[in-house]
Amino acid sequence: MPRLEANLQYMFNELALLDRYDAAAEAGFKGVEIQSPYSVPAEQIVDRLERNGLRHIIINMPMSDPDTGLNNVPLQPDRTDLYRERIAQGVEYASALGCLGVNVGVGPLPDGVSDEEAWSTLVSNLKYAAAELEAVGVKGLIEAINTRDQPGFFIHTTAQTRSLIEEVGHGNLFIQYDFYHMQIMEGDLAPTVKENLDLIAHMQMADTPGRHEPGTGEINYDYLLPYLDEIGYRGWVGCEYAPLKGTREGLGWADRWLK
């Protein structure tokens, strides 16, 4: 049975961040993820995890450019030092929270940077990130993002993600596969997942259009979730969606998976 976990950036966000951990556990989740935990001391999050018997599955590296606000520091040739500072922060939190993986970030192509420069910079930065995360037993994850929601996002297909991992050539770098983003960019979800299962270490889900809970759009999760069992996926699936009417009210689709 696929192990569902709650994305607390999107779910239960009518509550203060720490209280979302309690709410996720009350709803039946055994795992959680969040893009940005950095506004709260790690020890306070650990307390909520332990109190609720939760596992923190992933976080994101803090990759926002302080000048533009875009999350594309990994692509900037002149910001390698800043990237390494951010990696250190992410590694510290991931280690403290006991994360299985960290989204190491990509972002949209920066102004004035060619595709070739961005690619070579990203490859170099990811070699560093993969090694730093490996030292604390955490996997580095790369997520392709659709270019409708985030125009110009540099890595936006599964094939690009795989090529990037192969070029980096470090054994601690994996695919974070998001059904929502990849339905928009390429479709053909089931065979793509099966073909890339050797590199997929984490998955995320939302329906489209709208990025709401399963059953509100065109993606057939009644097929896909059992299919993950059939092909041997043993990782977690993050519920990274914006609830249509409220987190609790919209969890009926997950009853059979959370019990």
Residue ranges making up the domain that contains 130: 3-258
* CATH code for the domain of 131: 3.20.20.150
Which of 33, 132, 213, 240 does the annotation list as catalytic?
240
The number of angstroms, rounded, from the C-alpha of 40 to the middle of its chain's C-alpha atoms is 19
The yes-or-no answer on residue 240 being catalytic is yes
Does this model's pTM top 0.85? My answer is yes
CA distance 110 to 40: 29
- Which has the closest alpha carbon to 35: 178, 217, 222? 178
The yes-or-no answer on residue 143 being catalytic is yes
How many domains does one find in the chain? Answer: 1
Which of 43, 143, 167, 186 does the annotation list as catalytic?
143
Token pair 């299962």 is found at 197
Q: How many alpha carbons lie under 13 Å from residue 136 in its C-beta half-sphere? A: 21
195-226 b/e (C-beta count within 10 Å ≥ 16 → b):
ebeebbbbbbbbbbeebbbbebbebebeebbe
Helix (H), strand (E), coil (C) string for 173-212: EEEEEEHHHHHHHCCCHHHHHHHCCCCEEEEEECCCCCCC
From first to last of the 259 residues of the chain, give the pLDDT tens digit: 789 999 999 999 999 999 999 999 999 999 999 999 999 999 999 999 999 999 999 999 999 898 888 899 999 999 999 999 999 999 999 999 999 999 999 999 999 999 999 999 999 999 999 999 999 999 999 999 999 999 999 999 999 999 999 999 999 999 999 999 999 999 999 999 999 999 999 999 999 999 999 999 999 999 999 999 999 999 999 999 999 989 999 999 999 888 7
- Cis peptide bond prior to 77, omega within 30° of 0: no
Residue 53's region, left for phi above 0, alpha for psi from -120 to 50, else beta, is: left
